[in-house]
Chains A and B, each alone.
Chain A
Amino acid sequence: MSEVTSPAVAGPAAGTVLDRPVMSVDDVSVGFGPKTVLNGIGLPIERGSITALIGPTGCGKSTLLRSLNRMNDKIRGYWRRGRIELEGQDVADSSTDLLSLRRRVGMVFQRPNPFPMSIRDNVVAGVRAHGMASRSELTDVAERYLKEVSLWGAVADRLGDSPFRLSGGQQQLLCLARSLAVEPDVLLLDEPTSSLDPVTTEIVEDLLRNLVPDVTIVIVTHNLAQAKRVSNTTAFLYNGHLVEAGETSQIFDNPEQPETVSYIGGRIG
């Protein structure tokens, strides 16, 4: 039912890393109670690449993304069939440690969600929880990641301040820094720039491009231009089905499925 054109593209540094996809979604169906939201999705997520998930609202992009790091587990009625693997191991395996899975597969949300603690503590919250740095190193860690997301200049002199006094865009950069600080292998982003202005959006996109190939990125976006700008691979979801996935340039310039053609042409969604 879902025609998956094998995405031959791997990240820019494809030759130097393992060729096996870092994550893979294999014939996955997902739903809540009696309702099926995703139907037999199959999608390899190539190491060091940026994968964009596109599709009209309600088609299941967030549900798929949240299944990758098991954020749906606690939602009433959630069920899943098929395999979702990280490095060849099913994320739902009893031998998979849920906490370390979520550390390795980080997530940035649509709306900035800083913690009620200082800016510095926000950045290192995960680092602390996982014991990844000693107390004395925390401020250095915070500085490194704030610099990485180009927020350092704005907050250097108020690391102890409340994050709630930052602008929405700055808060989102802070959340990005917080996710990066635990050194994830895969970063999932759910419409991360939908509330940001064009300049901050560009900062985020540049950052994402700089993160690969060390970090593999999956980004949900409604902004087709953004998908085109940043991603290597694009997957188009429609009504819970993966209609088409492949090299971004191919999906945008040469889509095979009629639904893809209409969506990209602006006729669906």
Chain B
Amino acid sequence: MTVGATVSKTDTDLPTAAPSQSGGGGGGPDPGAHDPSGGGPAGPGAGQEKWWRGERLGPQVLRVVTHLPLIVLVLIMAALIWKAIPAIRYNGFGFFGRSVWNFGNLYAPILHTHGVAHPPGALYGALPLILGTIGSSAIAMVLALPVGVGTALVVVEKLPPRLSYGIGFCLEILAGVPSVVIGLWGFLTLGPFLMHHVATLWANHVPDVPVLRFFRGPTGNGQGLLTSGVILAMMIVPIIAATTRDLLRQVPRGTVEGAVALGMTDAEAANTVTIPWVRSGVIGASMLGLGRALGETIAVAMVSGVLVGSPIRSLYSAFSTIAATIVSQLDGAFTDASGLAVATLAELALVLLVITLLANVGARLLVRRVATTALPVGRGI
């Protein structure tokens, strides 16, 4: 029962509601939490009083259980903030604008600035890490969205059932491959291939002008932003493809036929019926994928080149993300007796948490906007 309540809560949170349902009460609070009759069916005859007490206790327990995710989130945040306080005070706002990662002289006597203990010369800046996190995830999204949706379209519309079942199975396998395996493959095979045989096709021919300059330059040894983006995309594609496939299968045949019967081309029919029908769900799945990409640690740590303190010069340069930095710097950070390095990693973790939360809130708003404009309200009246 309690499990059921939490599940139903997550269900309403997932933005995969089919359009036809969006007219109804999509965002209703989970009924379990306030429904005393859900506390267990009163057994006939014996044990009446016990059941009665159980019914009273039920809602209280449920209330706590349904708020558990929120409580855990708040606790994690509080702990991180607590641990990060020295770093926040020492690093200041400059933390977000600097491209430097320097533990300072760990052998010299510890100094105190603003009441914070630190090794002399310690200086931290998270700008390249924040940009690396967002950039690699953005590359992943740009690649994974068309591939994922395209795969789903082909699987549902074009392939015979047997084959599409096989591909669906492969997608699920791919989704389950541990990221360390994908990371190692990226390090050994994909990265070198991309940098030596693919990126070289254009990297030296891009004009040396602002913006485009980012796509120019030596392609390096196989580790870097592009490889990370591609590796992340491979992790997201199964998520997007599987969700989109399920959504496409729910598009009512008769509605598509209605569009075809009006004399629409297949593309027009897709635009009229299929796409609006699945749009909000696809956005939801993409955001799930984005969350995964933002937080992916070990695979990125293996193919990013873990360059922590310098700006990202090109699409092919080594870089690092917040998550990869935390895992790669943690060991070293403990050698800082002042505790500043660890506090700074806590601050980084906090930044990642905020980015992820913002992405989630953004997704929620986007889904709501799409659901209300595309479905009930329509395009441009």
- B263 touches which one: A164, A165, A182 (CB < 8 A)? A182
Q: Say whether chain B's binding surface is mostly helix, strand, loop, or mixed.
A: helix
Chain A, residues 123-152, CB within 8 Å of chain B (1/0): the string is 001100110000000010000000000000
Given A126-B263, A182-B263, CB of A113 within 8 Å of CB of B378: no
Decide if A117 touches B265 in the complex (CB within 8 Å): no
Residue of B254, B261, B265, B375 touching A116 (CB-CB under 8 A):
B375
Given A69-B261, A113-B254, are A125 and B23 also a contact pair (CB < 8 Å)?
no
List A contacts of B381 (CB < 8 A). Answer: 118, 120-121, 139, 159-160
Asked if A101 lies at the interface with its beta carbon under 8 angstroms from chain B, I say yes
Chain B CB within 10 Å — which of A71, A99, A129, A179 has the most?
A: A129
Give, as a whole number of angstroms, the nearest-CB distance from A31 to chain B: 20
Contacts A109-B257, A113-B255, A164-B23 known; A118 to B378 CB distance under 8 Å? yes
Asked whether, in the complex, the Cβ of A115 is within 8 Å of the Cβ of B273, the reply is yes
Is residue B156 contacting chain A, with contact meaning CB distance below 8 A? no
Assess whether B264 is interfacial by the CB under 8 Å rule. yes
B378, A120: Cβ atoms under 8 Å? yes
The range of chain B's interface size is 20 to 34
Chain A: interface residue total (CB-CB under 8 A): 36
Among B22, B252, B257, B276, point to the contact of A117 (Cβ < 8 A): B276
Quick check: is A102 within 8 A (CB to CB) of the other chain?
Answer: yes
Query: Which chain B positions have C-beta within 8 A of A71?
Result: 257, 260-261
Q: Are A160 and B378 in contact (CB under 8 A)?
A: yes
Q: How near does chain B come to A109, taking the closest CB pair, in angstroms? A: 6
Residue from A101, A116, A159 within 8 A of B273 (CB atoms): A116
Q: In the complex the two chains form, what is the Cα distance from A165 to B20 in whole Å?
A: 9
Partner of A100, one of B22, B263, B377, B378: B263
A120 proximity list for chain B (CB < 8 A): 378, 381
A71 to B254, CA, bound (A): 11
Contact B260 A115 (CB under 8 A): no
Given A99-B264, A102-B262, A182-B263: A162 touches B23 (CB 8 Å cut-off): yes
B160: nearest residue on chain A (CB-CB)? Answer: A76
Contact with A along B309-326 (1 / 0, CB 8 A): 000000000000000000
| CA gap between A114 and B376 in the complex, in Å | 12
Q: Roughly how many angstroms separate A121 CA and B373 CA in the complex, as a whole number?
A: 12
Interchain CB contact under 8 A, B375 and A102: no
Contact with B along A177-213 (1 / 0, CB 8 A): 0110010000000000000000000000000000000
Q: Which of A117, A120, A160, A182 is packed against the most chain B CB atoms within 10 Å?
A: A117
- Number of CB contacts from chain A to chain B under 8 A: 103
Other-chain contact of B378, A121, A179, A182 (Cβ < 8 Å)? A121
Known contacts: A102-B263, A129-B263, A178-B262. The answer to whether A115 contacts B23 by CB under 8 A is no
Chain B residues near A103 (CB-CB < 8 A): 262-263
User: If the complex has contacts A116-B374, A117-B379, are A111 and B254 also in contact, measured as CB distance less than 8 A?
Assistant: yes
- When each residue 241-260 of chain B gets 1 if its CB lies under 8 Å from chain A and 0 otherwise, what string results? 00000000000101101111
Does A161 interact with chain B (Cβ within 8 Å)?
A: yes
> Contact mask A153-168 → B, CB, 8 Å, 1/0?
0000001111011000
The CA of A175 and the CA of B20, in the complex, are separated in Å by 16
Does chain A have a CB within 8 A of B19? yes
Set B258, B265, B268, B379: member contacting A113, Cβ < 8 A: B258
Is A106 an interface residue, CB under 8 A from the partner? yes
Query: Does B10 lie at the interface of the complex (its beta carbon under 8 Å from any beta carbon of A)?
Result: no
Q: Considering the complex, which residues of chain A in the window 80-118 have a beta carbon less than 8 Å from any beta carbon of chain B?
A: 98-103, 106-107, 109, 111, 113-118
Which residues of chain A are near B95, meaning CB under 8 Å? none
What are the residues of chain A within 8 A of B90 when measuring CB–CB? none
| Shortest distance between the CB of A235 and any CB in chain B (Å) | 21
Min CB–CB distance B260 → chain A (angstroms): 7
Contact between chains at A162 and B376 (CB < 8 Å)? yes
In the bound complex, how far is the Cα of B162 from the Cα of A11, in angstroms?
A: 51
Find residues 262-298 in chain B having any chain A CB closer than 8 Å to their own CB: 262-265, 268, 272-273, 276-277
Task: Name the distance in Å between A142's Cβ and chain B's nearest Cβ.
Answer: 10
Does B254 contact A109, Cβ atoms closer than 8 Å?
yes
Assess whether A117 is in contact with B374, with CB atoms less than 8 Å apart: yes
Q: Could you say which of A116, A117, A182 contacts B262, with CB atoms under 8 Å apart?
A: A182
A102–B269 Cα gap in the complex (Å)? 13
With CB as the reference atom, state the residue of chain B lying closest to A125: B272
Report yes or no: B258 in contact with A175, Cβ–Cβ below 8 A.
yes
Given A115-B259, A125-B262: A164 and B19 interface contact (C-beta under 8 Å): yes
Contacting pair A165 B376 (CB below 8 A):
yes
A109-B257, A116-B277, A164-B19 known; A126+B262 contact, CB < 8 A: yes
> Could you give 26 example pairs across A and B, Cβ below 8 Å?
A71-B257, A99-B263, A99-B265, A101-B263, A102-B262, A114-B255, A117-B272, A117-B276, A117-B374, A117-B379, A118-B377, A121-B378, A121-B381, A125-B259, A125-B272, A126-B262, A126-B263, A130-B263, A160-B381, A162-B22, A162-B378, A164-B20, A178-B258, A179-B261, A179-B262, A182-B263
- Complex A-B, nearest 7 residue pairs according to Cβ-Cβ distance, in ascending order: A118-B378, A162-B376, A103-B263, A126-B262, A102-B263, A107-B261, A113-B258
4 further contact pairs, Cβ within 8 A, besides A71-B261, A103-B263, A162-B23: A115-B255, A118-B377, A118-B381, A164-B20
Residues in A lying within 8 Å of B, measured CB to CB: 69, 71, 98-103, 106-107, 109, 111, 113-121, 125-126, 129-130, 139, 159-162, 164-165, 175, 178-179, 182
